[in-house]
Amino acid sequence: MADKRSRLLWRDITVFDGQHELADPMAVLVADGRVAKLCRDAELDAADLAGVTDMGHGGVMTPGLVDCHTHLVFAGSRAGEFALRLEGASYAEVAQAGGGILSTVRATRDASEDELVAATLPRLDALLADGVTTVEIKSGYGLTVADELKMLRAARRLGEIRPVRVVTTLLGAHALPLEYQDDSDAYIRLVCNEMIPAAAADGLADAVDVFCEGIAFSPAQCERVFSAAARHGLRVKAHAEQLSNLGGAALAARHGALSADHIDYLDDAGVESMAEAGTVATLLPGAYLTLRESQQPPIDALRRHGVPIAVATDANPGSSPMFMPTLMLNLACTLFRLTPREALAGMTTNGARALNLADVGRIAEGLRADLCVWDVERSNELAYAVQAGRLRQRIFDGEITQERTHER
Ligand code: NIG
Ligand code: FE
């Protein structure tokens, strides 16, 4: 393993820079945690080569993957609900019967912060083994001030014990907890007046999310949450138009949302609002598959209006129990007809944009060296084949954090 201060050099490597695969094989020099040089092999000079560690050649280098939408921290399992849904119960019916998100809330409230960290580590490790270097983690299974903060603290700790950037999002407005069943406005007041201020005061949340849906919160309630977030200097995002069209994405866009996510039922007006605001459209094909949805997100309209498209796992115990980001690249293509290039840009450049991160998700001189080297010949193979174990090297902050050592 090379240490952080070393200068690492890859030669003759195919580079996907976050938007496109570059035409020629390239050399990539990493120093002091950043990409110091990206050029053709022949353009390397003696100064570049001084004191470098040769990291190999061949294969494909991409930015480290950015999974911009997960609910990775939770306790318990929803395997029973999976079976119920296969027998015909809908996601909404399971939720209305007290299962669904609320069953994970019960298990998560019962878990300590340490237990949540321990339960989440194997899931996080699965993401890292498949190339993730930045992951967003939402709260939303606590639904009390103390339990939401506990989830956010667990998420932050995961970023300290593993080499990964963790971005946290407060999702207090995820579901209505049982104790507020008759007064959803009172719960929204708790989110606005206590949860958001507490998370902001402790620096535990990078953004605020809502679930705008018939089985969750109305646009008017979500708007109150967005205004409270703004008062505390936090950017917003939304689960919107997942099961129906309530105009949540347009509302979020009007509040400067970083992203609107799911958006299966998004209409033209919603697309236009997102384009105007520069709001990223985050596609979550794992949830679409798991819930056996049939309403396709409006990909052509998003393209026509130049809305940046991100792709994420939505890793969670209910609607997307999937912890393999490269599978999502494949599903985004097979289910939504993204091109392999669009899918990979969605989990690099546009994923970073959905998290408001300017210096990851792309490979360019001066940007952070969060990188993956894959044992494939072309970058489009990552979406084409569903195959674990293709990650040759994972580089986080200029340091090799994972390396396959066997013969290749
Ligand atoms: O992104 N849509 C709401 N929230 C999650 C599901 C969470 C769960 O089912 O536990 C989602 O699909
Ligand atoms: Fe989600």
At residue 13, the 3 state secondary structure works out as strand
For the domain with range 7-64+362-403, which CATH number is right: 3.30.1370.60, 2.60.40.680, 3.40.50.300, 2.30.40.10? 2.30.40.10
Average pLDDT score over residue span 289-304: 97
CB atoms within 10 A of CB 7: 18
* pLDDT at position 2 over 60: no
Nearest partner of 6 among 60, 65, 55, judged by Cα: 55
> According to the model, what pLDDT value does residue 107 have?
98
Average pLDDT score over residue span 45-72: 96
Nearest partner of 225 among 273, 271, 193, judged by Cα: 193
Contact 248, 241 (CB under 8 A): yes
> According to the model, what pLDDT value does residue 297 have?
98
CB of 380 shorter than 6 A to ligand 1: no
pLDDT > 90 in the chain, percent: 95
CB of 66 shorter than 6 A to ligand 1: no
Domain 65-354 part of CATH 3.20.20.140: yes
Burial 294-322 (b: 16+ CB within 10 A, else e): eeebbbebbeebebbbbbbbbbbbbbbbb
- Cα–ligand 1 centroid distance for 300 (angstroms): 25
Average pLDDT score over residue span 32-42: 96
* pLDDT at position 60 over 60: yes
Give the number of the ligand closest to the Cα of residue 99: 1
* pLDDT at position 255 over 80: yes
* pLDDT at position 408 over 50: no
Contact 284, 312 (CB under 8 A): yes
CB of 319 shorter than 6 A to ligand 1: yes
Which of 136, 213, 316, 322 has most ligand 1 atoms within 8 Å of CB, for mutation? 316
> According to the model, what pLDDT value does residue 4 have?
47
Host H or E run for residue 103: helix 101-110
At residue 95, the 3 state secondary structure works out as helix
CB of 242 shorter than 6 A to ligand 1: yes
CA atoms of 87 and 85, how far apart (whole Å): 5
Nearest residue CA, atom 5 of ligand 1?
319
* pLDDT at position 85 over 70: yes
Q: 223-241, pLDDT tens digit by residue?
A: 999 999 999 999 999 999 9
User: Rounded to 5 degrees, what are φ and ψ at 355?
Assistant: -105, 5
pLDDT band at 405 (very low <50, low <70, confident <90, very high): confident
Contact 238, 252 (CB under 8 A): yes
Residue intervals in the chain for CATH 2.30.40.10: 7-64+362-403
Residue intervals in the chain for CATH 3.20.20.140: 65-354
User: Rounded to 5 degrees, what are φ and ψ at 373?
Assistant: -115, 125
Nearest residue CA, atom 11 of ligand 1?
319
Q: 371-403, pLDDT tens digit by residue?
A: 999 999 999 999 999 999 999 999 999 999 989
CA atoms of 68 and 58, how far apart (whole Å): 29
Contact 38, 365 (CB under 8 A): yes
CB of 99 shorter than 6 A to ligand 1: no
DSSP-derived secondary structure for 163-199: SSEEEEEEEEETS--GGGTT-HHHHHHHIIIIIHHHH
Q: 327-362, pLDDT tens digit by residue?
A: 999 999 999 999 999 999 999 999 999 999 999 999
Span of 5-9, 223-227, 305-309 with lowest mean pLDDT:
5-9
> According to the model, what pLDDT value does residue 365 have?
98
Contact 147, 170 (CB under 8 A): no
pLDDT band at 366 (very low <50, low <70, confident <90, very high): very high
Dihedral over alpha carbons 307, 281, 153, 358 (to 10 degrees): -20
- DSSP lists the bridge partners of residue 280 as 259
Three-point CA angle 65, 66, 72, nearest 5°: 110
Nearest residue CA, atom 6 of ligand 1?
319
Q: What share of the chain is helix, strand, coil (3-state, %, to 5)?
A: 40, 25, 40
Q: 148-207, pLDDT tens digit by residue?
A: 999 999 999 999 999 999 999 999 999 999 999 999 999 999 999 999 999 999 999 999
> According to the model, what pLDDT value does residue 278 have?
98
> According to the model, what pLDDT value does residue 96 have?
81
> According to the model, what pLDDT value does residue 5 have?
61
Which of 72, 73, 81, 101 has most ligand 1 atoms within 8 Å of CB, for mutation? 101
* pLDDT at position 128 over 70: yes
Average pLDDT score over residue span 260-282: 98
> According to the model, what pLDDT value does residue 406 have?
58
Q: 196-212, pLDDT tens digit by residue?
A: 999 999 999 999 999 99
pLDDT band at 6 (very low <50, low <70, confident <90, very high): confident
CB of 318 shorter than 6 A to ligand 1: yes
* pLDDT at position 1 over 70: no
Q: What mean pLDDT value characterizes the chain?
A: 96
The burial of 121, by beta-carbon neighbours within 10 Å (0-12 exposed, 13-18 middle, 19 or more buried), is given as middle
